């Protein structure tokens, strides 16, 4: 195709795969490299489910971006022929004395929400003095299903090359080249390094690395039906820093919170036993009668942020090289917007390479 660019993506997590899909549908040639399998069960994106929501007070623009994220995920469902968006709603606890401002943001963004009292969700602990705001169109993404469907679709595209088992040792940000273990060099018109917490090993971007412990639970039998219709929830627990994802489509109930978040230097840092952090999560008053729930798994995850702002990272580190170090829940649901920005950069490069004649 005339004007097609060669795109090389390092990392086959959600950002890498969704960006590969976006670039392929725009008519570009795409190569995806990963040191493991594609999709890679060891990547930070690989999990049972992730929350997707739009409401982000006090930022109206961010709330509108959240709505675009949901629309993009629904479009991806249609393209990939796989259901992974479950619109079970998202419940968020907000201080009652500031609820008018929250509702104002939702109204300004055109986002439908409703107010609920805490007693409507007796099995979820709300911080004192808060009420619930429910986004009915938000919910949960089945993360593993997303990655498997994306990799399967890409494998069928003649313009896409998937290269699992390729360890990248260097990215030349000036030349737009990727060096593999063994010395092979892969050149491209645009390179996206989307290696999660390992991105900073390949490109010079400032990254604050965080670790969090997640606990997966099986509700007691008498609450199974209640939880099957429950929403995702955030800003919950006694201290307002906890969140949960309900048992959607056969997944487990997942809880975590600020009590288990800690900054680390590397993913291999020595740390206390994960069960220590799981015990702190279970003791954080997130669920009523938590002792009735059975722990079925404990998992650590890592996510990266800008150390100055705490925000997600999408950084242009060279003329043709971009880096996305963010991962975790926010990084997952924002993947389609990252893909759109990379596609826009490619479109701009096409425009620069083929300027229109002046009239």
The proportion of the chain whose per-residue pLDDT surpasses 70, expressed as a percent, equals 94
pLDDT given at position 327: 65
Find the mean pLDDT for residues 291-317: 83
pLDDT of residue 354: 55
Q: Which of 174-183, 234-243, 317-326, 331-340 has the lowest mean pLDDT?
A: 317-326
Q: Which residue has the higher pLDDT, 307 or 110?
A: 110
**What's the order of all strands across the beta sheet hosting 321-323?**
160-163, 29-33, 6-10, 190-193, 321-323, 315-316
Taking 50 as the threshold, does the pLDDT of residue 358 lie above it? Answer: no
Tokens of 158: 């003649």
Specify which residues 133 forms β-bridges with.
92, 115
What span, in angstroms and rounded, lies between the C-alpha atoms of 5 and 336?
19
The pLDDT value given to residue 208: 84
Q: State the Cα–Cα distance between residues 338 and 31, nearest whole angstrom.
A: 17
CATH number for the 1-48+142-206+312-353 domain, one of 3.30.70.20, 2.130.10.10, 3.40.630.30, 3.50.50.60? 3.50.50.60
Q: What is the mean pLDDT of residues 54-70?
A: 94
Percent of the chain with pLDDT over 90: 74
Highest mean pLDDT pick, 100-109, 170-179, 299-308: 100-109
Q: Can you tell me the mean pLDDT for 292-298?
A: 97
Mean pLDDT of the 23-37 span: 96
Query: Could you give the strand order of the β-sheet that contains 139-141, starting from the edge strand earlier in sequence?
Result: 50-52, 139-141, 85-86
Helices 14-25 and 143-155: angle between axes, nearest 10 degrees: 40
pLDDT above 70 (res 163): yes
Grade residue 206 by pLDDT with cuts at 50, 70 and 90. confident
Compute the distance between CA of residue 281 and CA of residue 259 in angstroms, rounded to an integer. Answer: 6
């Amino acid at each position: 195709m005339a004007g097609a660019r060669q795109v090389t993506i390092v990392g086959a997590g959600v950002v890498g795969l969704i960006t590969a899909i976006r670039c392929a549908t725009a008519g570009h040639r795409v190569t995806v490299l990963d040191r493991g399998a594609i999709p890679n069960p060891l990547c930070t994106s690989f999990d049972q489910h992730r929350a997707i929501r739009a409401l982000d007070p006090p930022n109206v623009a961010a709330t509108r971006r959240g709505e675009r994220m949901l629309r993009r995920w629904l479009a991806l469902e249609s393209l990939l022929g796989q259901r992974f968006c479950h619109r079970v709603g998202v419940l968020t606890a907000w201080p009652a004395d500031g609820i008018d401002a929250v509702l104002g943001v939702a109204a300004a963004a055109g986002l439908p929400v409703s107010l609920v009292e805490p007693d409507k969700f007796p099995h979820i602990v709300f911080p004192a003095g808060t009420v619930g705001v429910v986004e009915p169109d938000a919910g949960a993404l089945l993360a593993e299903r997303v990655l498997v469907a994306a990799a399967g679709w890409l494998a069928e595209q003649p313009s896409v090359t998937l290269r699992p088992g390729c360890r990248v040792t260097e990215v030349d940000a000036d030349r737009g080249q990727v060096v593999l273990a063994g010395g092979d060099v892969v050149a491209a018109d645009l390179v996206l390094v989307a290696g999660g917490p390992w991105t900073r090993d390949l490109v010079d971007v400032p990254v604050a690395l965080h670790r969090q412990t997640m606990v997966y639970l099986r509700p007691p039998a008498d609450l199974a039906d209640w939880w099957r219709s429950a929403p995702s929830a955030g800003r919950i627990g006694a201290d307002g820093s906890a969140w949960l994802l309900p048992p959607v489509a056969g997944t487990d109930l997942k809880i975590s919170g600020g009590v288990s978040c800690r900054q680390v230097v590397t993913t291999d840092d020595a740390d206390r036993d994960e069960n220590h952090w799981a015990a702190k999560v279970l003791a954080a008053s997130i669920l009523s009668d938590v002792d009735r729930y059975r722990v079925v798994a404990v998992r650590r995850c890592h996510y990266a942020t800008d150390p100055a702002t705490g925000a997600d990272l999408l950084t242009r580190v060279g003329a043709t090289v971009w880096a996305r170090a963010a991962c975790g829940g926010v990084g997952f649901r924002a993947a389609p917007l990252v893909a759109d920005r990379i596609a826009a950069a490619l479109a701009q490069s096409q425009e620069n390479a083929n300027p229109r004649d002046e009239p």
